[in-house]
Amino acid sequence: MTNQTDFKKWEQHAKTCDIEALQYIIKDCARARDAMRTHNTEREAYYADQCFTYQDELRRRLKNVGGY
């Protein structure tokens, strides 16, 4: 189960990543989420939450530079 500490840690880390790193992390989380889909729904949700957190940071960055 994802807790608030996880979100805060991911948000802080996302702020330090460049665009390419964010894109890599998002893809990696999505792959992990998909791999857990039929095996472990709790881990699937964990990776989905992580993916969304990094996507939010990427979306903010792209919006600030007119890319979204």
In this predicted model, what pLDDT tens digit does every residue of 5-37 receive, in sequence order?
A: 999 999 999 999 999 999 999 999 999 999 999
Kindly calculate the radius of gyration of the chain based on its CA atoms and give it in whole angstroms: 12
CA dist., res. 1 & res. 46, Å (int):
6
The total number of structural domains that make up the chain: 1
pLDDT of residue 2: 81
Kindly report the pTM of this predicted structure.
0.88
Judge whether 24 and 63 are in contact, CB under 8 Å. no
In this predicted model, what pLDDT tens digit does every residue of 39-58 receive, in sequence order?
A: 999 999 999 999 999 999 99
What letter represents residue 11's amino acid? E
Domain limits at 42?
Answer: 4-64
Top-confidence residue, 36 or 66: 36
